[in-house]
């Protein structure tokens, strides 16, 4: 694993077992995500973008099944293979270290809970200790100003909160949580969580966050709902964020605001972002480096300037040429993505490529660094293997 990589995906093979046959959706995908960068993952529908990004969270939706591969994550200088972690450990990694913004914000939010309820769930799951500490600090302040009966009540609350901090499994604490007169300290924790959520919503430029926190998803506009989802994914300040086409369902002006917001957040929190999209315009504006996927293979990896200035893979060239430009004839990539049930033996792009050679039909091109930090999988650039 390269030192600066937060996540390193190595030789990922994933199949879908369908009635029509075994779909070889990922065929040896490898790339790394550096600390603090925005890495674009681009390709057509069916190229394997979403399954690759879900693999980083160790989520394999049936009938998808991982065949082999390794995904190393670097947490505080220690390396872990995500794919070998058990469910309980993985549940701690998700949300806390790696988080995801889903494509359709309304589908990602639960319609029967308020925004605040849904975000607080993340705080209670991953940041409970911090919540309890903040509540204790606030209660100590309140205690200084209190007198008489109020002081006695605050003291009782404080003692239960300290028990919660030092011995959360104690029987007396669990009993107190069930007795209405004694469980007031839990309301204090909820108030503290609310304060933290309002602060988070404010940092995402959500107007009137104290009102939005009590709203249900159907009361929010598309842009606001996506901001709420972003707030949820950032609640634990994760070291890596996967943004799976986060602006696809939004109109252009809101899309621009969300893109700006994601860039700002990356600068502010130094979060590494895997930005999944098929929109090369968004990639040019947002990303530092780009991974181009085609039919489950990595076709090219380069920094965003090199990729747009000098694309090496014929598929990347065709993708860039197919961006609509005013005054230019629209050029689409001819043909369709091959069936991955029975993919071509050599290069998976050969029947759509203008430069096909004999060896492209039989020999699978390997991903090779042909210029500094510029990798390509094409026989044109290294003479084949």
Q: Which residues of the chain form contacts with ligand SF4 (CB under 6 A)?
A: 313-314, 347, 349-350, 353, 355-357, 360, 365, 378-380
The angle formed by the CA atoms of residues 373, 379 and 383, to the nearest 5 degrees, is 95
Measured between alpha carbons, how far is residue 255 from residues 65, 244, 323, 354 in Å? Answer: 33, 13, 18, 35
> 235-248 burial, b for 16+ CB within 10 Å, e for fewer?
bbbbbbbbbbbbbe
End-to-end CA distance of the chain: 25
- Based on CB atoms, which residue is closest to ligand SF4, 96 or 379? 379
Query: Which residue from 356, 367, 362, 312 is spatially nearest to 334, judged by alpha carbons?
Result: 356
SS3 345: coil
Size of the chain, expressed as the number of residues it contains? 385
The CB-of-335 to ligand SF4 minimum distance in angstroms stands at: 12
- Based on CB atoms, which residue is closest to ligand SF4, 42 or 231? 42
- Based on CB atoms, which residue is closest to ligand SF4, 206 or 307? 307
- Based on CB atoms, which residue is closest to ligand SF4, 200 or 377? 377
The CB-of-247 to ligand SF4 minimum distance in angstroms stands at: 30
Q: How far apart are CA 119 and CA 194, in angstroms?
A: 9
Q: How far apart are CA 86 and CA 144, in angstroms?
A: 46
Measured between alpha carbons, how far is residue 380 from residues 41, 224, 232 in Å? Answer: 23, 47, 45
The CB-of-342 to ligand SF4 minimum distance in angstroms stands at: 17
Q: Are 13 and 66 in contact (CB under 8 A)?
A: yes
The CB-of-378 to ligand SF4 minimum distance in angstroms stands at: 3
The CB-of-340 to ligand SF4 minimum distance in angstroms stands at: 16
- Based on CB atoms, which residue is closest to ligand SF4, 238 or 314? 314
The CB-of-367 to ligand SF4 minimum distance in angstroms stands at: 11
Helix axes 128-145, 115-126, angle to 10 degrees: 100
The CB-of-381 to ligand SF4 minimum distance in angstroms stands at: 8
- Based on CB atoms, which residue is closest to ligand SF4, 36 or 343? 343
């Amino acid at each position: 694993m390269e030192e600066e990589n937060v996540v390193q995906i190595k030789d990922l093979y994933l199949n879908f077992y369908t009635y029509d046959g075994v779909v070889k959706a990922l065929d040896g995908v490898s790339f790394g995500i550096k600390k603090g960068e925005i890495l674009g993952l681009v390709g057509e529908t069916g190229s394997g973008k979403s399954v690759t990004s879900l693999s980083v969270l160790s989520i394999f939706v049936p009938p998808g099944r991982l065949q082999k591969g390794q995904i190393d994550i670097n947490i505080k200088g220690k390396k872990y293979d995500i794919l070998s972690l058990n469910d309980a450990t993985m549940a701690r990694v998700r949300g806390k270290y790696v988080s995801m913004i889903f494509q359709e914000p309304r589908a990602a939010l639960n319609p029967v809970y308020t925004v605040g309820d849904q975000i607080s769930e993340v705080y209670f799951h991953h940041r409970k200790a911090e919540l309890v500490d903040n509540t204790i600090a606030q209660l100590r302040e309140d205690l200084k100003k209190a007198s008489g009966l109020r002081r006695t009540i605050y003291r009782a609350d404080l003692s239960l909160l300290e028990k919660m901090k030092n011995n959360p499994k104690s029987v007396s604490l669990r009993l107190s949580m069930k007795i209405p007169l004694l469980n007031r300290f839990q309301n204090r924790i909820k108030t503290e969580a609310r304060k933290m959520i309002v602060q988070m919503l404010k940092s995402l430029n959500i107007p009137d966050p104290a009102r939005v926190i009590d709203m249900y998803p159907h009361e929010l506009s598309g842009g606001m709902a996506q901001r709420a989802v972003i707030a949820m994914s950032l609640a634990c300040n994760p070291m890596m964020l996967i943004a799976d086409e986060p602006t696809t369902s939004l109109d252009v002006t809101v899309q621009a605001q969300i893109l700006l917001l994601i860039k700002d957040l990356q600068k502010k929190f130094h979060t590494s972002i895997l930005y999944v999209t098929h929109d090369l315009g968004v990639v040019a504006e947002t990303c530092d480096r780009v991974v181009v996927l085609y039919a489950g293979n990595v076709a090219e990896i380069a920094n965003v300037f090199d990729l747009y200035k000098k694309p090496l893979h014929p598929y990347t060239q065709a993708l860039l040429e197919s961006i609509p430009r005013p005054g230019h004839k629209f050029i689409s990539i001819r043909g369709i993505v091959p069936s991955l049930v029975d993919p071509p033996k050599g290069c998976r792009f050969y029947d759509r490529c203008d430069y096909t050679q004999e060896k492209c039909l039989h020999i699978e091109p390997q991903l090779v660094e042909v210029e500094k930090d510029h990798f390509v999988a094409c026989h044109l650039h290294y003479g084949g293997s």
